[in-house]
Structure 1
Amino acid sequence: MRRYLKRNKWHFFLAGFICLLSALATLFLAYVMKYIMDVAISKDLKLFYRAIILSLLLIIIYVLLVYLKGIVNAVFLKKVMVMLRSDYFKALMNRNIFDNSNPSKYISVFNNDISLLEKNYLENLLLIISDLFLIVICTIGLFLTNFKLALIVVLINILSIIIPVIFSKQLSLKQEKYTKVLNELNIKFKDYLMGFELIKANNVINKIKTIFNTKEIEHENSKQKVRFEEAKINALSSLSSIGTNIITILLCIYFVITGRITIGTVVAINNLVNNITNPLNRLFVEIATVKGTRIVEQKIISFIDLHHCCNNDINYKEPINKIQLEKVSFKYSNKLILNQIDYCFKKGKKYILVGNSGCGKTTLLKLILMYFNNYEGEILYNNKNAKDIDPTSIFDQIAFINQETFIFNDTLKNNICLFQDYDSKQINEIINKTGLNQLVASLPEGLNSKIKENGANLSGGQKQKIAIARALLKQKEIIFIDEGTSNLDNLSAYEIEKIILDSKAMIISITHHLKKELLEKYDEILVLDQGKIIESGS
């Protein structure tokens, strides 16, 4: 987190400076209390009126400082959190496309772990700075008031804080354990929500409830241990605080009896001691809480660093004229999916992949699209090895129509255009070609109508038409289709596939619509079996 403190150093320093001013105001408040008490004993009305004015001025200054402190802290926290969340999101977007980690893990980090850093690290860091300034300033004030008494009080405080220090390490360990358990619970919760239909259909609800309840009990037990440890430290801190106050008062009374200090000085010393012991007692819990975020901080920062920038691969801008596969083999979980594939796909040609389910058709498309890079052999784009090319530069030249269409919780227009700007005439033309005009007409705000999360208010066929519209709108020279019309009726599928095949793009398609009129439009039909191209021809 230090990098974010450095990047916001002026706001951080300003927050610290306000803490210093607040500590000085607290010191002056103690001296004003001393002055008021001495005035009361002197019974001088002129001094009393002066004390009232002085008190009001100090109260106004103190309240303004408290308000200003809250504003500065809020601005500082906002800036740091915007940077942290933005960096984390950028890192997520910079991941390799073949990273198939559970999305719930990233959601848990974004929603919980980063918020935990804000609360337990950043907010506590500001409290630590505030308490440190208060301790230092009030200790200096105490020594200036009465050196001998201050020396005795400081020695007593040093002895009283030893016990909380011993237990603060245990609190840090328990907080780290709690953070880990909370993260595991969130992942389980997300999994069960996403898999609700599967759970319901297979009647394993009771089993899932049992697993979740066990995890929730573990979570609450972990949280309870943290609370118990905090209660122990707070109790010991309270004991030391009360003991220090009583001893301080007894010492002050002794110094008053012996004529070394006034009653006003007793009030000031008591006020200063409270503003030393109370922050001291808080300080150990605050420091332990900050230390408890170490694992979370390391996890987030390591992830950001790992995906901080794009790799050093070639940003390939040349138009792709051919895609060459040379002895390409691929295993998934030790199972051979593709076996020694040799083939060359050429610009403007149309190819269809056929074969039984599991023969490797989809895997072949995904390898060409760089979804995986742990294959044997070579995939060449214009004789340039795919492993040496930045995948994003290839995605700029290829449109992919997949069977599974992801829909954003956004407008229909943004779902079609994928947040890019296109001419409205071009958009309407594609809408008519793909048959989305009926959907647009049925929505209350047409293209600007909001689509529910993952297209909950759309049919499978409508989602697939959106995927096809995305591909056609891009006007790419290469189009990959993986059962891209499987959810459409035969007539709609035929019309859309005909439109795609009539384009000048290189087409590599997997489809179950094998009408003679469409097959005649393909230049090559590739038959796959057990991971090999066993036959090719027109």
Structure 2
Amino acid sequence: MFYYIYKFWKENLVVTLILFLTGLCQTIVSVQVASALDALIAFNFNHFLRIVGIVLGLFAIQLIFVRLQIIKISQVKQKMATAIRTDITQRIEKTSYNEFHKRQVGTYASWLSNDLSTIETVGFDNFYALLTGSIATLTSVIALFFFHWSLVLWTIVAGALTIFLPKIFEKQMAKSSLNTTKENERFLSRVSEVLSGFDTLFSYSLLKNITKNTREASLKLAAAKNDQAVVVSNVTIAGVFGNVFGQISILTLTGFLAFRKIVPIGSFAATSNLGITIFNTLGNVSTQLAQIRSVQPIFDKFENIEAHTENNQHLIPSEIQGIKLSHLSYAYGDKQVLSDISYHFELGNKYAIVGSSGSGKSTLLNILIGKLIDYTGSATFSNLELNEINGKDLRNNILYIDQTPYLFSGTIRENITLGESFSNSAFNQVIKEAVLEDIIEKLPDGLDTDIGEAGRLLSGGQRQRIALARGLIRGKRIILIDEGTSSLDESSALRIEENLVNNPKLTVIMITHQLRDKIEKQLDGVLTLL
């Protein structure tokens, strides 16, 4: 957490200055209260009124600084939160396909939402509260010194006790915080999963499972938060005890000094206010430090995202060649999926991969696109081993379309471009090749029609066509299709497949359970997996 505080040191320096000026005003007010009480004791009403005027002026200035403090702290917190989110997503960008899928999408969403909220409220808020209290304590201790040095000495002794007591529960605090953040992740993942299955549950009249699963996850989260509350209460009680002891003892010492006529009677009011400031701060120090430290496991969790380094991997030459498989095998744990596959996909040719369910067709395509790199045997593209090729460069040459392509919330145009720029002529060409003309003509805003969350307003076939256009517009030279036309009607599927197999610039490898006779006659080869 402190990395980001240091990263934005200039902004935090401005915050510190504002906090110092606010604390200074508060301390001067406390000292002026002593002078006001002494003026009343001396029956000097004019002096009393002058002090009241000074106090009112200081309060007005303090209010201005408090307003600036609230605004500036919020701005700096959001800058740091955005920087953390950016670092997390950049780590995700650099991770491998397998590493990413070790966690559910809901877990990553929880990191960027729930965990960042925890960092802001538990980490940053406590840091600024600690900084505010530390500055107020410093100015208050200096003020006490001007009354009598013994007040400062006793403040140090009592303050040490106030800080030490809550430290007993520090490890428990960190453990309970980590447990809570993990339960938050599980809760969000579970709720996201069950809500994503709304259509399925609706079809089977099992919508009650939404409440059931949410309640079960909520109870587990509640238990973790309640356990954390118990630890927080222990820390708080320990801090309050030290706080009360410190305040009473400083008042007692001031009374003794006043009785001995070492300090004026009015100082009793000032040291009371200053003591409250000091020991309230010290009473909260351990809690605040424990809370700040408790967010460190969250940052450690972010650090555990394993980056996939591709710096030393090969780049594909400009003159690409075909894909060769030699004794290729793959297993998921103990389950062998592909065994001793040898085949040659020549550049510019068209192929189909067929086989029964579970024969490894999709696994083979995942190897060819670079998602699965822990295969045995050999799989080369342009005479380079696939698991040694730079992944980004590989995906720049190969388009992979699965059975259920993902669409983002937004328009058709935005889902095709994915934030990049393309010419109108390129759009017109891919719309024709992906057989999107009839869809666009029927939509009210054409390419700029909003398709809803995850493309829910479109059919499965329409989504597959948009996914195809998304790849074709980028000039991919090799296309891998995993049942990419399975959701289309017969006529549209045939048109798209004919467009692909008749394009001499493309190398097409497609998985299909319905190999049409007309298409099979135009293929250069069929790989059958058993």
Task: Give the partner amino acid of 1:131.
Answer: G
The alpha-carbon deviation at position 308 of structure 1 amounts to 8.2
RMSD: 2.5
The alpha-carbon deviation at position 333 of structure 1 amounts to 3.2
1:67 aligns with 2:92: no
The alpha-carbon deviation at position 326 of structure 1 amounts to 1.9
Q: Distance between the aligned counterparts of 2:116 and 2:309, measured in 1?
A: 20
Q: Distance between the aligned counterparts of 2:462 and 2:369, measured in 1?
A: 25
> Which of 181-190 and 278-287 deviates more?
181-190
1:447-496 Cα offsets, whole Å, 9 max, x none, are 22222112111111111111222233223221122221111111111111
> Which of 429-438 and 199-208 deviates more?
199-208
Aligned to 2:344: 344
SS of match in other structure, 2:379: strand
SS of match in other structure, 1:342: strand
Q: Distance between the aligned counterparts of 1:150 and 1:503, measured in 2?
A: 87
Q: Distance between the aligned counterparts of 1:5 and 1:323, measured in 2?
A: 50
Aligned to 2:524: 523
The alpha-carbon deviation at position 45 of structure 1 amounts to 4.9
Residues 294-443 of structure 1 mapped to structure 2, 5 A cutoff: 294-303=296-305, 306-307=306-307, 311-443=311-443
Q: Distance between the aligned counterparts of 1:309 and 1:328, measured in 2?
A: 24
1:364-393 Cα offsets, whole Å, 9 max, x none, are 222111110110112222212222211110
The alpha-carbon deviation at position 127 of structure 1 amounts to 1.6
The alpha-carbon deviation at position 203 of structure 1 amounts to 7.6
2:166 to 159, 164, 167: 164
TM-score by length of 2: 0.91
Contact 1:117 1:297 in 2 (8 A): no
Contact 2:190 2:213 in 1 (8 A): no
Aligned to 1:56: 56
1:155-211 Cα offsets, whole Å, 9 max, x none, are 334344443332344333333332233322222222322344555667877788666
1:228 to 226, 230, 234: 230
Residues 36-55 of structure 1 mapped to structure 2, 5 A cutoff: 36-55=36-55
Q: Distance between the aligned counterparts of 1:239 and 1:517, measured in 2?
A: 86
The alpha-carbon deviation at position 299 of structure 1 amounts to 0.2
Structure 1 138/186 Cα, relative in aligned 2: closer, same or farther at 3 Å? Answer: same
Contact 1:416 1:467 in 2 (8 A): yes
Contact 1:143 1:151 in 2 (8 A): no
Task: Give the partner amino acid of 2:169.
Answer: F
Task: Give the partner amino acid of 1:485.
Answer: T
1:43-71 Cα offsets, whole Å, 9 max, x none, are 44553453244223312321222222223
Q: Distance between the aligned counterparts of 1:114 and 1:446, measured in 2?
A: 39
Contact 1:94 1:307 in 2 (8 A): yes
The alpha-carbon deviation at position 445 of structure 1 amounts to 2.5
Aligned to 2:285: 283
Aligned to 2:257: 255
Task: Give the partner amino acid of 2:277.
Answer: N
Q: Distance between the aligned counterparts of 1:483 and 1:180, measured in 2?
A: 37
Q: Distance between the aligned counterparts of 1:126 and 1:12, measured in 2?
A: 10
Aligned to 2:95: 95
Contact 2:316 2:382 in 1 (8 A): no
Structure 1 240/97 Cα, relative in aligned 2: closer, same or farther at 3 Å? Answer: closer
SS of match in other structure, 1:33: helix
Aligned to 1:534: none
> Which of 439-448 and 364-373 deviates more?
439-448
Task: Give the partner amino acid of 1:510.
Answer: I
1:514 aligns with 2:515: yes
Task: Give the partner amino acid of 2:151.
Answer: L
Q: Distance between the aligned counterparts of 1:310 and 1:264, measured in 2?
A: 72
Q: Distance between the aligned counterparts of 1:425 and 1:49, measured in 2?
A: 82
1:13 aligns with 2:31: no
> Which of 323-332 and 422-431 deviates more?
422-431
1:194 to 176, 193, 196: 196
Aligned to 2:248: 246
Structure 1 33/226 Cα, relative in aligned 2: closer, same or farther at 3 Å? Answer: same
Q: Distance between the aligned counterparts of 2:277 and 2:173, measured in 1?
A: 24
Q: Distance between the aligned counterparts of 1:333 and 1:383, measured in 2?
A: 28
Q: Distance between the aligned counterparts of 1:256 and 1:50, measured in 2?
A: 24
Q: Distance between the aligned counterparts of 2:265 and 2:139, measured in 1?
A: 22
SS of match in other structure, 2:420: coil
Structure 1 334/230 Cα, relative in aligned 2: closer, same or farther at 3 Å? Answer: closer
The alpha-carbon deviation at position 413 of structure 1 amounts to 0.6
Task: Give the partner amino acid of 1:119.
Answer: T
Q: Distance between the aligned counterparts of 2:225 and 2:512, measured in 1?
A: 53
Aligned to 1:267: 269
SS of match in other structure, 2:98: coil
Q: Distance between the aligned counterparts of 1:498 and 1:253, measured in 2?
A: 98
Contact 1:409 1:451 in 2 (8 A): yes
> Which of 347-356 and 273-282 deviates more?
347-356
TM-score by length of 1: 0.90
1:349-377 Cα offsets, whole Å, 9 max, x none, are 12222233332222222211111011011
Structure 1 160/418 Cα, relative in aligned 2: closer, same or farther at 3 Å? Answer: closer
Structure 1 316/37 Cα, relative in aligned 2: closer, same or farther at 3 Å? Answer: farther
Aligned to 2:464: 464
1:313-358 Cα offsets, whole Å, 9 max, x none, are 2333524222122221111232222222222222211222223333
2:147 to 131, 145, 148: 145
Which stretches in structure 1 are left out of the alignment for 5+ residues? 531-538
Q: Distance between the aligned counterparts of 2:122 and 2:162, measured in 1?
A: 25
Structure 1 17/484 Cα, relative in aligned 2: closer, same or farther at 3 Å? Answer: same
Contact 1:91 1:308 in 2 (8 A): no
SS of match in other structure, 1:57: helix
Structure 1 357/62 Cα, relative in aligned 2: closer, same or farther at 3 Å? Answer: same
> Which of 308-317 and 114-123 deviates more?
308-317
SS of match in other structure, 1:378: strand
Which stretches in structure 2 are left out of the alignment for 5+ residues? none
SS of match in other structure, 1:320: coil
Task: Give the partner amino acid of 1:430.
Answer: V
Q: Distance between the aligned counterparts of 1:94 and 1:265, measured in 2?
A: 63
Aligned to 1:455: 455
Structure 1 515/185 Cα, relative in aligned 2: closer, same or farther at 3 Å? Answer: closer
Task: Give the partner amino acid of 1:525.
Answer: V
Residues 16-31 of structure 1 mapped to structure 2, 5 A cutoff: 16-31=16-31
Contact 2:431 2:437 in 1 (8 A): yes
1:134 to 133, 136, 159: 136
SS of match in other structure, 2:273: helix
Task: Give the partner amino acid of 1:284.
Answer: S
Task: Give the partner amino acid of 1:299.
Answer: K
Q: Distance between the aligned counterparts of 2:143 and 2:48, measured in 1?
A: 23
Contact 1:256 1:263 in 2 (8 A): yes
1:84-132 Cα offsets, whole Å, 9 max, x none, are 1011112222221234232122122222112212221122122222222
Contact 2:174 2:293 in 1 (8 A): yes
